[in-house]
Amino acid sequence: MKSHHPLTTETWRMDDATAATWIGAAHLGRRKKYDKGATIYRQGEPGTTFYFLLSGRVQVSIFQRDGAEFILEVMGRWSMFGESPAVDGHPRIATAITVEDAELLEFDIRAIEDAIPSSPELAMALLRVIALKQRVLASRIQYLALPKPDMRIGELLGRLSDLYGEPHDGRTLITIPLTHEQIAAMTGATRVTVTRALKRLVDLGAIEIRQRRIWVTDASRLLG
């Protein structure tokens, strides 16, 4: 059930079985629609709800006190967000904003807890989502700790290419309209650094940039 929707823009993907579990649990939640630019929840707010995205894209970001933004993920179709605060009872750690019109299922953790005795697959589905996010986050931390921004940027492009790339004549199109600002916010770099890093990757033959879309031409060169 792999889908190529323009981060398609997801920066991680849920496996088909887990997605099917949450779609099947739609009767336990509420279907909601948001226009582009709508705030679903804000960092610091309490929250007992979490969300399964049916269509559209949602950007999840952490904002520093000085207003600086770090993009945790850009969520696409069949991704989940907001589950950690719902489960542990602590305030939201991030802000979720739609980057295009979106339709989603809103689940209240209390309804899920009540349903688990008769539908234990919900517990496993939630655990799989949390485990997947931990794995992705660990991978990103590994590269964010590196002093070279080129490697952090290359890791991100490689992940997007692996998960959502569309192969064409020996190259892979990353089907995502990512801006330099978004790449910078996702890799802890500056916009200028991203521009330089992308140029270097072009010079190395790792990528091509055509009409603001990135093509991976040699994945082995993405990390320099």
pLDDT at 8: 35
In a domain, residue 143? The reply is no
Task: Tell me which residue of 12, 24, 61 sits closest to 164, measured CA to CA.
Answer: 12
In a domain, residue 4? The reply is no
* Domain shared by 100 and 123, yes or no: yes
Domain end (from 103, 135, 167): 135
Give the three-state DSSP class for 58.
strand
Which residue is it, tokens 């802000």? Answer: 95
> Which residues constitute the domain of residue 171?
148-221
- State pTM to two decimals: 0.73
* Domain shared by 20 and 126, yes or no: yes
Residue type, 39: T
- Asked if 49 contacts 106 with a C-beta cutoff of 8 angstroms, the reply is yes
* Domain shared by 118 and 207, yes or no: no
What 3 state SS string does 122-181 have?
Answer: HHHHHHHHHHHHHHHHHHHHHHHCCCCHHHHHHHHHHHHHHHHEEEECCEEEECCCCCHH
In a domain, residue 63? The reply is yes
pLDDT at 68: 81
* Domain shared by 162 and 127, yes or no: no
Domain end (from 105, 135, 165): 135
pLDDT at 165: 83
In a domain, residue 3? The reply is no
Give the three-state DSSP class for 98.
strand
* Domain shared by 125 and 184, yes or no: no
**What is the total count of domains within the chain?**
2
* Domain shared by 63 and 39, yes or no: yes
Q: Pairing relation of β-strands 95-98 and 39-41?
A: antiparallel
pLDDT at 11: 54
pLDDT at 13: 67
* Domain shared by 30 and 124, yes or no: yes
* Domain shared by 97 and 33, yes or no: yes
Handedness of CA 87, 56, 71, 3 (dihedral sign): positive
Question: pLDDT 10s per residue in the chain (224 long)?
Answer: 333 333 334 456 688 899 999 999 999 999 999 999 999 999 999 999 999 999 998 999 999 888 888 888 888 888 999 999 999 999 999 999 999 999 999 999 999 999 999 999 999 999 999 988 888 777 767 766 766 888 889 988 988 888 778 898 889 998 877 889 888 888 888 899 999 999 999 999 999 998 888 999 999 999 87
pLDDT at 1: 34
